[in-house]
């Protein structure tokens, strides 16, 4: 094979998700225009949004099953590496739960907007199965008639229950269960590939959903969507600069602004792709370059990408509250708490997958109030606008987490970290080599001497 042919084969596929992002923006603008100028036509386009929601609903059970089973398997793998893995898991679970709680608190503080949508615009969600009337019925309803039926009956709680059983069963098998875990990984790749195909229909769904809502409510819908978007951005900013900033400063004595300057290029990459997954290789290289030991980075960063989705956690809770309030069916305090618990479990293992957050949101609503599934159409139109903040918050949370855990476990070279953040040892963008690059030898010697 010639060199040119080899280069052609080895060339990676071009990422075209930016085309989808632009298409959704155009679809939303067109939907708003149709809804305002031709209200009746806009309301008639509702089936387009409903069809997209049905496609997302179709993906809920397999996504929940695969992510939960693999999430439990990841716990076993991460915990097996000792102190670093256990510390990382505890930190990530606590921080993501805290992010969910912040999302609930601020979501409840936002102005409540009941859009008073008619049944024609709300769609078929209100016609779904009736909710259990007692605690006993609720608990019995979690048990499926058979293991396969948990994936086919459309009950998210049944799927969650079976996924937990299968996950712990595989975990209990130890090394003998690794084959089953790899099989589930393959199935998850197939499921996410199908989900990626479904997401290419998002512009059509967003167009129909926005046109119908704006046609029914006029500018009220635009005000409500703008409010939740600004509220979400503000919440992410508070979480980054206050919560993560304080954590980083207290534990590592490093300013959050210094860290943000260091990972600025990765943040720009994430904004352009709406996925924190694209910056994963660079984050690993940069954390090693910053002075965190290679073994710690190898454990903490991949685990954080599955278990520390702070931005996604905030999005899930705020979007759920917005949908419930917009449809005039607000969630009670007990329902909000149970929703938080569900999201803590269901949000694991789907980092960087386009559309996974939307599917998890639909799963949470389906498990608590199936009638609220229609409201997913409201979020479709602005989901892409919120995805950048979601991905950036996830990325910064994992960057902070790596430094915090490295400090707690004494797996970080503080002199090296201070040297890099001060600009004394720039990261080599050409080779992405985490080792010392373009550093003055005398400067390096002084930094080494200070550690002795």
Q: Residue 175 is part of a domain; what is its CATH number?
A: 1.10.3860
Looking at the domain assignment, is residue 74 inside a domain?
Answer: yes
- In the prediction, which pLDDT does 108 show? 86
- In the prediction, which pLDDT does 14 show? 53
> By residue range, what is the domain housing residue 407?
27-412
Q: What is the pLDDT along the chain (452 residues), one digit of tens a residue?
A: 444 444 444 444 555 556 776 787 788 888 888 888 888 888 888 888 778 777 877 877 787 788 778 777 666 666 556 677 778 888 888 888 888 888 888 888 887 665 655 554 455 444 444 444 445 665 676 787 777 777 776 666 777 778 888 888 887 887 788 888 889 888 888 887 887 788 788 788 888 878 887 887 777 777 888 888 889 999 999 999 999 999 999 999 999 999 999 998 888 878 766 666 667 778 888 898 888 888 788 778 877 877 777 888 888 888 888 888 877 777 788 778 877 777 766 665 555 455 566 777 777 777 667 777 767 777 776 777 787 888 899 899 999 999 999 999 888 888 888 888 888 878 766 655 555 443 443 434 444 444 44
410 exposure class (CB count in 10 Å sphere: 0-12, 13-18, 19+): exposed
- In the prediction, which pLDDT does 435 show? 58
CA distances, 373 to each of 56, 57, 122, 154 (Å): 10, 8, 9, 13
Crossing angle for the helix pair 376-408 and 280-289, to the nearest 10 degrees: 20
Q: What is the DSSP letter of 143?
A: S
Q: Write out the two tokens for 307.
A: 């278990």
* Number of separate domains in the chain: 1
239, 99 contact by CB (below 8 A) = yes
- In the prediction, which pLDDT does 182 show? 87
Whose CA is closest to 427, among 335, 289, 330, 229?
Answer: 289
Looking at the domain assignment, is residue 437 inside a domain?
Answer: no
188, 67 contact by CB (below 8 A) = yes
Looking at the domain assignment, is residue 243 inside a domain?
Answer: yes
- In the prediction, which pLDDT does 4 show? 47
Residue ranges of alpha helices (H) inside 218-244 are 219-238
- In the prediction, which pLDDT does 439 show? 40
- In the prediction, which pLDDT does 59 show? 78
Looking at the domain assignment, is residue 452 inside a domain?
Answer: no
Question: Residue 442: how many CB atoms within 10 A of its CB?
Answer: 8
DSSP for 357-381, please give it.
Answer: HHHHHHHHHHHH-GGGGGGHHHHHH
Looking at the domain assignment, is residue 45 inside a domain?
Answer: yes
389, 347 contact by CB (below 8 A) = no
67, 349 contact by CB (below 8 A) = yes
- In the prediction, which pLDDT does 115 show? 62
If residue 209 lies in a helix (H) or strand (E), which one and from where to where? helix 202-217
* Adjacent-strand bridge partners of 412: 292
Looking at the domain assignment, is residue 444 inside a domain?
Answer: no
Looking at the domain assignment, is residue 20 inside a domain?
Answer: no
Looking at the domain assignment, is residue 417 inside a domain?
Answer: no
């Amino acid at each position: 094979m010639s060199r040119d042919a080899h280069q052609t084969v080895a060339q990676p596929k071009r990422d075209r998700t930016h085309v989808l992002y632009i298409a959704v923006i155009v679809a939303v603008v067109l939907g708003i225009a149709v809804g305002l100028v031709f209200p009746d036509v806009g309301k008639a386009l509702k089936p387009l949004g409903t069809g997209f929601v049905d496609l997302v609903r179709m993906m809920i059970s397999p996504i929940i099953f695969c992510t939960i089973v693999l999430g439990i398997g990841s716990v076993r793998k991460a915990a097996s590496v000792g102190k670093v893995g256990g510390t990382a898991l505890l930190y990530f679970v606590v921080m993501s739960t805290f992010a969910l709680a912040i999302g609930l608190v601020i979501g409840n503080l936002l102005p409540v907007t009941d859009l008073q949508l008619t049944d024609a615009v709300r769609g078929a969600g209100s016609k779904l199965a009736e909710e259990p009337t007692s605690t006993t019925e609720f608990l019995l309803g979690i048990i499926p008639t058979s293991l396969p039926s948990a994936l086919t009956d459309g009950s998210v709680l049944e799927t969650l229950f079976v996924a937990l059983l299968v996950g712990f069963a595989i975990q209990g098998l130890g090394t003998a269960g690794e084959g089953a875990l790899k099989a589930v990984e393959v199935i998850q790749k197939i499921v996410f590939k199908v989900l990626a195909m479904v997401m290419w229909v998002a512009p059509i769904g967003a167009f129909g959903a926005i046109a119908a809502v704006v046609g029914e409510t006029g500018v009220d819908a635009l005000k409500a969507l703008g409010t939740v978007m600004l509220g979400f951005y503000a919440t992410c900013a508070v979480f980054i600069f206050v919560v993560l900033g304080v954590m980083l400063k207290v534990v590592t004595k490093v300013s959050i602004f210094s860290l943000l300057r260091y990972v600025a290029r990765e943040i720009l990459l994430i904004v352009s792709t709406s996925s924190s997954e694209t910056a994963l290789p660079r984050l690993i290289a940069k954390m090693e370059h910053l002075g965190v030991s290679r073994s710690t980075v190898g454990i903490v960063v991949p685990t954080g990408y599955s278990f520390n989705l702070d931005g996604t956690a905030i999005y899930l809770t705020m979007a759920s509250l917005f949908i419930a309030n917009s449809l005039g069916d607000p969630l009670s305090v007990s329902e909000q708490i149970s929703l938080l618990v569900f999201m803590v479990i269901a949000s694991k293992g789907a980092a960087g997958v386009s559309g996974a957050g939307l599917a998890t949101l639909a799963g949470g609503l389906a498990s608590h109030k199936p009638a609220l599934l229609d409201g997913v159409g409201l979020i479709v139109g602005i989901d892409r606008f919120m995805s950048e903040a979601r991905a950036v918050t996830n990325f910064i949370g994992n960057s902070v987490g790596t430094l915090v855990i490295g400090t707690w476990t004494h797996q970080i070279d503080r002199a090296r970290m201070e040297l890099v953040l001060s600009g004394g040892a720039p990261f080599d963008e050409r080779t992405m080599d985490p080792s010392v690059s373009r550093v003055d030898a005398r400067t390096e010697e002084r930094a080494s001497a200070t550690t002795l």
